[in-house]
Amino acid sequence: MSEKKIVITGHTSGIGKAIYDKFNEISCREIVGMSRRNGYDIEMDFDKIVEEATGAEFFINNAYRDEQQLKLFHALKDKVDMMVVMGSVSRHYPELIPTDYVHDKQALAEACRLESINPNGIPILHLDLSFIEGTTVSENDPTAFISDYNTSLEDIVDTIIFWAQKPSIRQVEFRWKLTDHVRKELERINPNLDPSRIQF
Amino acid sequence: MRFYITGSTRGLGEFLAKYFSCKSFNKPLDINSDIESICDSIEEGSVVILNAHASQLEYVERLKDKCSLVVMGSIAAVNFDREMPEYSKEKWELEKTVQQLALHSKYPMLYLQLTSSSYRNYRIVANSIQFWLDNPDITFIGYNINE
């Protein structure tokens, strides 16, 4: 019988790396990282990821690319014991951040919500993350920006560890602070924005 | 740190009052009609658990710049309860208001979206609040319905 394992997508940078490193430090389970760099592209290698993650005790659905994160959610929600899904608090503000990213994160959150009312569903934690410490953004993406108020990687990792012992929790949201810097960036990426929409 | 709680005579409120050694507001004070005197009596910088449903939104507005707040919400805010439409509506307004205020509140604010099962699981609610005290950037914790 194979030993239970913990699988993390997008484990080579950012929050994925922080989780991967912490679990390697504290868990006696096998920790499996799946990223493009080691041959697990969530689009190109989708079937391989599903096959190898099946049976995992813990699947951390972290890597984002378009709809692939949602597809992985559906493909694995009946094939692993527990799942953590990295969402974004930006999904609450589609008018402020009218991007495909926000749309995808909305769809992901709704899928998690529906699963939470499935009587046969596995424990799933949907994390609505704020801007994360150490985030890097693509220079080619005109809608990307870095906030000057961040959630620490440690707080997010601590939350996952807390949830692993309290799987009755289904959703945790982190503060998304509207600083002057963020306000200016929102106006930059969304020139049609009515400024009154950012008076929270 | 000093803790206060509204609605502590039974159930979850009673448990949390003991767990966090809260100061409670019981008779002759009335949660609905003595809002001002209750708010005035709360020490700045303390933690207030708004457990009683009565006048919850008003307490949030009055206390948001004075204390850290834990607000007891309900899944009825997003899963409309046809048998209690007013309750659902009030909880929805409460949830939206707290989510907005939590973006800029001077003090940390936590909204707990309780379900019928989590409402009876006193310890997980207490543990959630304790975890938030250590991780005050968390603004929302929701619980499973499928239990």
Q: Residue B146: is its pLDDT beyond 90? A: no
* Interface size between A and B, measured as CB pairs under 8 A: 77
Length of chain A: 200
Strand order from edge to edge, sheet including B68-74 = A30-34, A5-9, A58-61, A82-88, A124-129, A169-174, B138-143, B109-114, B68-74, B47-50, B3-6, B23-24
Task: Give residue A99's pLDDT.
Answer: 86
Query: Which of A123, A151, A170 minimises the CB distance to B137?
Result: A151
Task: Give residue A133's pLDDT.
Answer: 82
Query: Per-residue pLDDT averaged across A148-171, rounded?
Result: 92
Query: Which residue, chain included where needed, has tokens 């994390």?
Result: A127
Q: Which residue has the higher pLDDT, A192 or A10?
A: A10
Q: Residue A2: is its pLDDT beyond 60? A: no
Query: Per-residue pLDDT averaged across B59-86, rounded?
Result: 92
Arithmetic mean of pLDDT over chain B = 93
Q: Residue A135: is its pLDDT beyond 80? A: no
Task: Give residue A197's pLDDT.
Answer: 66
* CATH number of this structure's domain A5-198, picked from the four choices 3.90.1640.10, 1.10.1660.10, 3.40.50.720, 3.30.429.10: 3.40.50.720
Nearest residue in A to B138, CA atom: A174
What CATH number has the domain spanning B3-142? 3.40.50.720
Residue pair A80/A54 in contact by the 8 Å Cβ criterion: yes
Instruction: Name chain A contacts of B135, Cβ cutoff 8 Å.
Output: 155, 158-159
Determine the Cα angle at A90 with ends A161 and A172, to 5°: 25
Query: Which of B99, B131, B144 minimises the CB distance to A168?
Result: B144
Q: How confident is the model at residue A136 (pLDDT cuts 50, 70, 90)?
A: confident
CA distance from start to end of chain A: 54
Task: Give residue B79's pLDDT.
Answer: 82
- Alpha carbon of B71: minimum distance to chain A alpha carbons (Å): 14
Q: Residue A126: is its pLDDT beyond 50? A: yes
Are A155 and B135 a contacting pair at CB < 8 A?
Answer: yes
Query: Which of B117, B139, B142 minimises the CB distance to A175?
Result: B139
What ipTM does this complex have? 0.92
Q: Which helix or strand (DSSP H or E) is residue A100 part of?
A: helix A100-116
Q: How far apart are CA B67 and CA B71, in angstroms?
A: 12
Q: How confident is the model at residue A150 (pLDDT cuts 50, 70, 90)?
A: confident
- pLDDT tens digits, A23-50: 999 988 999 999 999 999 999 999 999 9
- pTM, two decimal places: 0.92
- Alpha carbon of B27: minimum distance to chain A alpha carbons (Å): 34
Contacts of A159 (CB under 8 A, 6+ apart): A127, A172, B131, B135, B138
Write down the domain spans for chain A.
Answer: 5-198
- Preceding peptide of A123 cis, ω within 30°: no
Task: Give residue A194's pLDDT.
Answer: 75
Q: How confident is the model at residue A109 (pLDDT cuts 50, 70, 90)?
A: very high
Q: How confident is the model at residue A199 (pLDDT cuts 50, 70, 90)?
A: low
Q: Which residue has the higher pLDDT, A150 or A174?
A: A174
- Alpha carbon of B75: minimum distance to chain A alpha carbons (Å): 11
Checking phi first, is residue B55 left (phi over 0); if not, alpha (psi -120 to 50) or beta? left
- pLDDT tens digits, B97-137: 998 898 878 899 999 999 988 888 999 999 999 999 999 99
Q: Residue A51: is its pLDDT beyond 50? A: yes
When mean pLDDT is compared across A17-21, A78-82, A92-96, B61-65, the lowest value belongs to A92-96
Task: Give residue A1's pLDDT.
Answer: 40
The number of angstroms, rounded, from the C-alpha of B91 to the middle of its chain's C-alpha atoms is 11
